[in-house]
Structure 1
Amino acid sequence: MSEEVLTWMSEVHDEFGEISGDEFCELWTTRTFSMARSAFEVIQKSVFDETGKRVVGEEFCYVNYFRDPEFGPVGVVRFKSAEVSTPDWVEVLGVVAEGVQEFVMDYYVTVWPACSRHSFGLHVDYFDETAVWKCNGGPEGGHVVRALDPSADRSVVRSSTIDRPPV
């Protein structure tokens, strides 16, 4: 588990003390659901800023949350066809970005995002504990283009080869 999730678990224990498994699962799923909604806002803004296209409406049900009686107290958070299984911001952001990317390609028949250097579609990857868009082109076998979350982009810029001048 990531340091972020372990810290959150420690904070839950500090706040509530010992709680039942049912209560903990409810908190876990509620946090994951909230993070998926926040991640959607970040990625949706990127799509609009870069393409002018909106990722809303009846065509796109972005986050589903349900409880299956067979699995007890654990709720399931799904984004498109992927399940978000941890309240870790980096992982949630990556899953949501892949779902939005799938929607943009299917609904608008548009490759988003694309590498300006190689004109290839980008893929979600993880670099230095950050969710990033990565291009698989080039002689080095690929390069990080930018962070999925613009607020994390500065640290990625300092640590990797990217597609644009450093900020």
Structure 2
Amino acid sequence: MMEVGQFEVRRRFELRYEQRFKCWLRKVDSELAFLPGPEGRSIDWIRDLYREHGELPASRFALLAFDRKARTTSGALKCVADAAGTATRLDIPTTPEFLPPSADLPMGNVAVAGSAIQSFDRQGVWAEVADAVQTYVADRHVTVWPLCRTHGLGLHAVVRGGEAIWWCNGWGHLDCAISPRTTQGKGRGGKWPQARPPEPGPAHR
């Protein structure tokens, strides 16, 4: 009976906790309008902030979320730019652009080579940074990077299974991880994908 009683107490506590979290989240979103859309991006990062800081005012939450995104973007950009520079022998910018939260931009803005980073969760940021660097290399230097090491096609930066990865759309397979969470951002054999200047005609991406 004691075990059943403890289980019920915990269940009720978790239910109340979840209700308070969702109530707070709706309140903050009503002021900041930042919640992920129907594409279903992760809100685990919000739970992490709530667990650590409790029911923050919207303005304080925005500052912490912005700082989290800025730090994640800076780390991701250095790693991805180093890989792109090594593969392409190009000079890749490694400094993001920052606009802190303001009345006009309640959640602030972080951009890489002109591409705004929309995600706040770590893996989403890594995928968007990789896509931004890929776009910069293609638009500024007319170079396709990275390439699938099996098929030679341009890869796509996506999040699958909670991991930022380079995905080969042409053949529907993983090439390598982007973020260092489990693989140090490297693929099979411990190497990043390579690059090539595009051949005449439409370039694959």
On whether the aligned pair clears a TM of 0.5, the verdict is yes
Residues 147 and 153 in structure 1, CA contact (< 8 A), matched pair in contact too: yes
Residues 64 and 79 in structure 1, CA contact (< 8 A), matched pair in contact too: no
**Paired residues for 1:107-118 under 5 Å:** 107-118=140-151
**Out of 156, 159, 165, which is 1:123 matched to?**
156
Q: 1:106 to 1:61 in 2, by over 3 A?
A: farther
Residue 178 (structure 2) aligns with: 148
Residues 36 and 63 in structure 1, CA contact (< 8 A), matched pair in contact too: no
Q: 1:19 to 1:5 in 2, by over 3 A?
A: closer
Residue 109 (structure 2) aligns with: 76
Q: Which deviations, in whole Å up to 9, do the C-alpha atoms of 1:100-132 show, x marking residues without a partner?
A: 001111222110000122111000122221100
| Equivalent-residue separation in structure 1 for 2:101 and 2:56 (angstroms) | 20
Residues 81 and 92 in structure 2, CA contact (< 8 A), matched pair in contact too: yes
Deviation at 1:6, TM superposition (A): 1.6
| Equivalent-residue separation in structure 2 for 1:85 and 1:62 (angstroms) | 13
Q: Say which one has the larger Rg.
A: 2
**Out of 34, 44, 63, which is 1:26 matched to?**
63
| Equivalent-residue separation in structure 2 for 1:36 and 1:166 (angstroms) | 23
Unaligned runs of 5+ in 1: none
1:3 aligns with 2:44: yes
Residue 41 (structure 1) aligns with: 78
Residue 137 (structure 1) aligns with: 170
**Paired residues for 1:56-75 under 5 Å:** 56=93, 62-71=96-105, 73-75=106-108
* Percent of residue pairs identical: 25
TM-score (norm 1): 0.75
Which amino acid is 1:110 matched to? T
Residue 26 (structure 2) aligns with: none
Q: Which deviations, in whole Å up to 9, do the C-alpha atoms of 1:4-63 show, x marking residues without a partner?
A: 4422331122xxxx432111111111211111111111111211232222202xxx8633
Residues 48 and 54 in structure 1, CA contact (< 8 A), matched pair in contact too: yes
Deviation at 1:67, TM superposition (A): 4.1
> What is the Cα-based RMSD across aligned positions, in Å?
2.8
Q: 1:61 to 1:114 in 2, by over 3 A?
A: same
